[in-house]
Amino acid sequence: MLTISQIHKSYADTEVLRGVSLELAAGTITALLGPSGCGKTTLLRVVAGLERADRGEILFGGTRIDGVPSHLRGFGMMFQDYALFPHMDVAANVAFGLRMHGLSRVQIAVRVAEILDLVGLVGYGRRRVFELSGGERQRVALARALAPAPRLLMLDEPLAALDRELRERLQDELRTVLRRVGVMAIYVTHDQEEAFALADHVALLNAGRLEQFGPPEAIYRHPASLWAARFLGLRNGVPGTYLGEGRIATALGDLYGVAMSDLAAGTAAMAVIAPDATDHTPSRGEQNRLSGTRESAQFRGRHYRVRLIMSGGLPLDLDMAELLDDGPLTVQLSPERVLIYPA
């Protein structure tokens, strides 16, 4: 339904978007994920019509909308800072967009009651904005964005200002609400856990370019590049020489893994070992068996993050269910979680 084709955008001499293209299906939630400055908010603003691309085109339902003013696109927007009207009560905030659409007073009252019920704010209509908690204000902002039944809902880091517990609870609620409404949504975030929890597909942006696009599971388990792997927290890198057939020679010995691009035998490569690569399958034999000394351990709730110092002083951070004794220990790595990239 939404086609973003070769979008370029620069500010002065800085190129912010460099030929980004995406195809988003109706009723899906897409997360724009990446570090600060990667262009995700700029891309959102271009789709919204708040910025004009230098080159490229945007089509919605097969119709080009580049020249359509933002207020005529039928899109909704939800911001990090809520952007609520402090002099209005909750009902008036939610009704604002409906009044702009020329609905009658009765129609507005019915729709406001319906949408407040949807976001779990029944009975909040007459409350003032300053009487609400941060989570309640965010629900009002969501209700206001959804009230006019937008063709596309865009959310710019809407949960970033909330504490962790509330943010995680609202992630679940937000996904449920968007599913019930069936609206297509684009969600901007720098938090990979948030993107994975909410989205059907993730668009990973790097310095204005689309690095990878796909379901959250595919993005996490098979990052398309060394940069993507490091951004997603896979920082255990072991340099070596690719030997072919998923095998790389390293200072730790030969490691078996998954080659993430076409690699010729004899070329320089990097083995990226995921923190959850520890394998407890007894049938692996000696494959990917490593020995090291525990330097430190951090308790992280469901697991320990253990730092092992391997031969040559190379550190590896691995997740373990149990904290083993100090001193030398042996671990085995699952080949599926050893990813091999060009160096």
Secondary structure class of 44 (helix, strand, coil): helix
Mean pLDDT value across residues 276-285? 74
DSSP string, 116-175: HHHTT-TT-TT-BGGGS-HHHHHHHHHHHHHTT--SEEEEESTTTTS-HHHHHHHHHHHH
The domain spans of the chain are 2-226, 232-342
Comparing CA positions, the residue from 161, 221, 213 lying closest to residue 191 is 161
Amino acid identity for residue 182 in this structure: G
Mean pLDDT value across residues 330-337? 92
151-193 per-position pLDDT tens digit: 999 999 888 877 888 888 888 888 899 999 999 999 999 999 9
196-248 per-position pLDDT tens digit: 999 999 999 999 999 999 999 999 999 999 999 999 999 999 999 999 999 99
> What pLDDT sits at residue 283?
60
Comparing CA positions, the residue from 91, 233, 116 lying closest to residue 177 is 116
Comparing CA positions, the residue from 224, 223, 253 lying closest to residue 240 is 253
Instruction: Specify the CATH architecture of the domain 2-226.
Output: 3-Layer(aba) Sandwich (3.40)
> What pLDDT sits at residue 321?
83
Q: How far apart are CA 61 and CA 47, in angstroms?
A: 14
145 exposed, middle or buried (CB, 10 Å; 0-12, 13-18, 19+)? Answer: buried
> What pLDDT sits at residue 170?
84
